[in-house]
Structure 1
Amino acid sequence: MSWAEGFIAVDWGTTNRRGYLVEADGRMTDEFEDDRGILAVGEGGFPEALNQISERLGDRPLLLAGMIGSNRGWIEAPYAPCPAGLPELAAGLQWVEPGRVAIVPGVSYLAGNRADVMRGEEVQILGAFGDGLVPADALICHPGTHNKWIRLDDGRIGAFRTVMTGELFNLLREHSILADLLREPARVDAAFERGVAHGLDKDDLSAELFSVRARVLLGQARREEAASYTSGLLIGTDLRIGLGEGGDDDVVVMGRPELTSLFAAALRIAGRGAREVDGEQAFLAGCRHLVELIR
């Protein structure tokens, strides 16, 4: 089958993958999500993993995005340097099987001592622009394991910065002295708001993290508040970095709703407007626009 008759889009990350069946008219009619990320597949297992996707969603051309194209994935797709838009991504596709299986390149940024890379988020960001979900010039916050702050300039990714907020929270929850205090889910409450305000105002993250435990031990804070406060503290620190990327307009917060809601709430505490965009919708839009450029 040709790309014009429909295709399969795969967001293939480090620990998970999500596959979508996209029909010729652009509708998504089937999908799945599992834990077969690149680390679970392992070297040499990708052809079979790809066959499994086709068995589940049908015999269609495949567009693969995310960590599948990294140096830890299947076949490395070199980064497209900033500034990068949809045409640059289409031109940089790494063809595994000519005309049928392609891997989307990531995007890189270099400026002085600043060096950064992304894989997967670029499809969402540029897809959202292509579908009119974000303006041509915008500051975008993309929360996740490695949160991205992206400057969209004239519809292209002009600059971006990564903050390891999600990974740091997970490490604290699983491997730190705070682990037993962080089992509860973080929520937007008074403790979260206090954490955000502290992170925005103070430059003492590593010290304040230990104070989370000390306050509970000394009866100055409730154990039940620890996860929300710590989440707010990390996100507030993240915002202090990301908002330095410039601009006074509303920030577009893009990704999974359970994460975008936390960052949108934190942005409002910081006095900034926030508009949430669903990352899955944006990803599918990006894939559709890329297929239009290659078919």
Structure 2
Amino acid sequence: MTHILTIDTGTTNTRVTLWRDGVVIAHQAHEVGVRDTAISGSREKLKKGVRATLLKTLEEAGLTENDISLVLGSGMISSNVGLFELPHVLAPAGLQQLARGMVSVTIPEVFSKPLWFVPGVRNVVENIGLHNCESMDMMRGEEVEVIGVIDQMGITGPAMMVMPGSHSKFVCIDDKNRITGCVTTLAGELMYVITHNTILAQSLESSFATTISPEMLLAGAKSAQTIGLGRTCFNVRILDQFTIYERNDRANFLLGAILGADLLTLKNSTAIKMLPGTPVIICGKPIMKEALALLIQNDDYFSGKVTVVSDEVQAHLAGLGAIKVATARGLIK
């Protein structure tokens, strides 16, 4: 019987999953992430938070540290503000490259057994300046999620993985299922700030869209691509002041505007190579997935198949991907 702990640490949250012979038997999340290190300049809060989450997960399953065969960490936990800084693997990077890049670190105040970290992936751009900085991008955490999606859905590239969130990622996969590049936007953070901390907070009642309104979503996207994001955002207030559109309609208009701007990134960024016929696979928060699928299907540029990953499949992608990488490394028989 094999027990494996997987740690997925992001900017604000840490998620720990306990696996028994490939099946999830316990899961805990804690509001602690690398933001805490960045703000305080110390790793102490992160160390204590990760340890507390690990112990709580073990307690849920009725196990102790001695029962664990392997501990795997992915995400921002391996960044310069994480528990241990691990260099990015250079694209193109697939299962084997990630496996070779894994590093084992012992941090007794976090866990009694070694922690195996999965590296992130970055684009290859030399001598970065204004002329080429747009081609540069990197990821920590999305690489294992991509591996998890490929495994769970039996994907064979080329494909474009679309992963909306606080920082939306577009990840390019080649015909060998290697990550050849990625590009990041601040879509989710923009949505949050605009909804809560601008003049639009009143028009949106400080709330996001709850259900998709196709007409408003498409109108917002079209507007952002025609007159720009700033003016389109202000139009949310105009819709509130002078029309009968309801709050959820206005929130859809804003969602369409921000995701419409993301589609410009997908089409034009030099950090990835998006061709019109490339299949698109979307995973992430439910309403963001649904919205992006609708926008892509209604955009004449895209002609490839669009697949939306179900909530069930993406439930534990980071852990699944980390286990696949560890298996390729020979850590799991």
Structure 1 length normalisation: TM-score?
A: 0.88
Measure how far apart 1:91 and its partner are: 1.8
Closer, same or farther: CA 149–221 of 1 in aligned 2, 3 Å: farther
1:95 matched to which residue of 2? 104
1:27 matched to which residue of 2? 23
Q: Aligned to 1:255, what secondary structure does the other structure show?
A: coil
- Aligned partner of 1:275 among 307, 317, 325: 307
Closer, same or farther: CA 253–196 of 1 in aligned 2, 3 Å: same
Task: Please give the per-residue CA displacement for 1:187-230, whole angstroms capped at 9, x wherever unaligned.
Answer: 3113223213333x42511222122223433x145351221110
1:231 matched to which residue of 2? 255
1:37 matched to which residue of 2? 33
Measure how far apart 1:132 and its partner are: 4.2
Higher strand share: 1
1:185 matched to which residue of 2? 208
Q: Distance in 2 between matches of 1:57 and 1:139?
A: 34
Asked if 1:141 corresponds to 2:162, the answer is yes
How many residue pairs match? The answer is 289
**One-letter code aligned to 1:188:** I
1:83 matched to which residue of 2? 92
Which consecutive unaligned segments of at least 5 residues does structure 1 have?
A: none
Task: Please give the per-residue CA displacement for 1:78-127, whole angstroms capped at 9, x wherever unaligned.
Answer: 11111111222222223222972022211111344311111111111122
**One-letter code aligned to 2:87:** P
Which consecutive unaligned segments of at least 5 residues does structure 2 have?
A: 59-64, 108-112, 126-131, 269-273
Give the RMSD, CA atoms, in angstroms.
Answer: 2.3
Residues 149 and 162, structure 1, Cα contact 8 Å, conserved in 2: yes
1:164 matched to which residue of 2? 186
Residues 90 and 104, structure 1, Cα contact 8 Å, conserved in 2: yes
1:288 matched to which residue of 2? 323
Residues 197 and 269, structure 1, Cα contact 8 Å, conserved in 2: no
Asked if 1:248 corresponds to 2:271, the answer is no
Measure how far apart 1:256 and its partner are: 3.2
Q: Distance in 1 between matches of 2:151 and 2:239?
A: 48
- Aligned partner of 1:124 among 135, 145, 161: 145
Q: Distance in 2 between matches of 1:180 and 1:226?
A: 11
Closer, same or farther: CA 29–94 of 1 in aligned 2, 3 Å: same
Measure how far apart 1:262 and its partner are: 2.1
- Aligned partner of 1:261 among 269, 290, 305: 290
Q: Distance in 1 between matches of 2:149 and 2:261?
A: 26
Closer, same or farther: CA 276–45 of 1 in aligned 2, 3 Å: same
Deviates more, 1:225-234 or 1:189-198: 189-198
Residues 7 and 319, structure 2, Cα contact 8 Å, conserved in 1: no
Q: Distance in 2 between matches of 1:49 and 1:95?
A: 20
Closer, same or farther: CA 202–134 of 1 in aligned 2, 3 Å: farther
Measure how far apart 1:144 and its partner are: 0.7
1:67 matched to which residue of 2? 76
Q: Aligned to 1:19, what secondary structure does the other structure show?
A: strand
Q: Distance in 1 between matches of 2:185 and 2:2?
A: 39
Residues 124 and 282, structure 1, Cα contact 8 Å, conserved in 2: yes
Deviates more, 1:222-231 or 1:117-126: 222-231
Task: Please give the per-residue CA displacement for 1:116-155, whole angstroms capped at 9, x wherever unaligned.
Answer: 1111111111222234442221011111111111110121
Deviates more, 1:160-169 or 1:174-183: 174-183
Asked if 1:48 corresponds to 2:57, the answer is no
Q: Distance in 2 between matches of 1:204 and 1:46?
A: 39
Q: Percent identity?
A: 25
